[in-house]
Amino acid sequence: MKSKILQLLKDSDGYVSGEEISKVLGVSRTAVWKVISHLKEEGYVIESVTKKGYLLQETPDLLTEDEILYHLKTKWLGRKIVHYHQIDSTNKEAKKLAASGEKEGTIVISEEQLAGRGRLGRTWISPAGTGIWMSVILRPSIAPTDASKITLLAGLAVCEGIKEATGLPVQIKWPNDLVLHNKKICGILTEMSAEMEKINYIILGIGINVNTDSFPEDLKNTATSLKIEGEKEYDRKEIVKAILMYLEQYYELYMKNQDMEDLLEKYKNHCLTLGKEVKIIHRNEEFIGKAVDLSKEGELMVEKQDGQVITVFSGEVSVRGLYGYI
C-alpha cells in the first residue's frame, strides 16, 4: 500500500485528497494517514492541508525499492530491490541470497558499506549517502570460462548509464574501471559460484563515487566523483535506473546471441585503454607495450616492444597517464 500511495502522490500535479486515495486503494482514511506519517518519518516532505489533501514536496535521497522502481524501464532486472541503510558488503549479502536460491535480477543496494571490496582484495571506501554501492545477482546459462564477458558488458552498461544520466564523458579502462578526467569513479567486482561446466550465479558488485566531496590523501590523485568533476550533485536514483536499463539490454543481447561482436564494438568506442602505452603485471611477469585492440573474446591485445602481439585476459593493466603511472 505504501508504494501505491507514493505513486499516487508522485503522479499528481497537485494535492491528492485522503478520500480519493482511500477510494482508489479500498482502505480507510486512517490507514492512508498512517502510511503518510510513515513516509514523513522516512524523509518524504508531504504537506497536509485540510479539505485539500496531501502534496508531495520533496523525496529523500535514498536508493529504496520504492524510489528505484518508480519509472524503472526494465522487464525483470531490478524488479526486486533489497535495500540497506548500512551493511558490511553488498556483494557478501548478494552471495548469501544467491546461494539460498534468490532469483536472477535481484539487486542488493546500501546507502553505506563498512567493508566494501574492490579487485584483488583492495578496500573500497563507501561513505553513507554519497555513492551507489550495489550488487546484481545473475544466473547466465554460459560456460564458466565465458564469465569475463559478463564483466565487460557490465562495464559498458554502467558507462553508458552514467553518461545518459549525467552527460559526463565517462570512459572505460579495460576491463571494467570507469574513468572520468583520468581518475577512477567506478569499479566493478565480479564474483562467481560455478561447477565444472555450469555457473550457479554471478554477482556483479558496482561501486560508483557519485556525490563524494573529497577523498583521503592517498586516493585524491587517483579517485574522483561525478560531483567533483561535474561541479554539481547528481540524482543517484536516476543513475541506477539508467544502468539497470542498459545492463538488462546488453545482458539479454549477449545471452541471445552468445556472441560479443556487437557489444565489443560499442565497448571499444568508450575504451580509453586502446591506443595507449600500458604496463602489464601478470603473475611474475611485467612488461610495457601498446594496447592495440580487443580480441573477439574481449581480451586485450598488446603489442610488446619487440613487435610481438599477445593477448591479456587478466592481471594488472596500468595505462600511462592514469592512477599515477607516468
* Domains in the chain with CATH codes: 2-58 (1.10.10.10), 65-270 (3.30.930.10), 277-319 (2.30.30.100)
Question: Which cell numbers in the block locate residue 280?
Answer: 602489464
Question: What is the C-alpha separation between 292 and 313, in angstroms, rounded?
Answer: 14
Q: Look at residue 176 in the predicted model and tell me its pLDDT.
A: 87
Q: Look at residue 281 in the predicted model and tell me its pLDDT.
A: 82
Q: Is the pLDDT of residue 124 over 80?
A: no
Q: Look at residue 316 in the predicted model and tell me its pLDDT.
A: 75
Q: Is the pLDDT of residue 287 over 70?
A: yes
Q: Look at residue 102 in the predicted model and tell me its pLDDT.
A: 97
Judge if pTM exceeds 0.85: yes
Q: Is the pLDDT of residue 121 over 70?
A: no
The string of pLDDT tens digits covering residues 155-194 is: 999 999 999 999 999 999 999 899 999 999 999 999 999 9
DSSP state of 296: T
The string of pLDDT tens digits covering residues 202-226 is: 999 999 999 999 888 888 888 999 9
Using CA atoms, how far residue 72 sits from 48, 68, 78, 79, 248, in Å, is 28, 6, 8, 8, 12
Q: Is the pLDDT of residue 326 over 60?
A: no
Mean pLDDT computed over 132-153 = 95
The string of pLDDT tens digits covering residues 59-92 is: 999 999 999 999 999 999 999 999 999 999 999 9
Question: Which cell numbers in the block locate residue 253?
Answer: 543481447
Q: Are 124 and 206 in contact (CB under 8 A)?
A: no
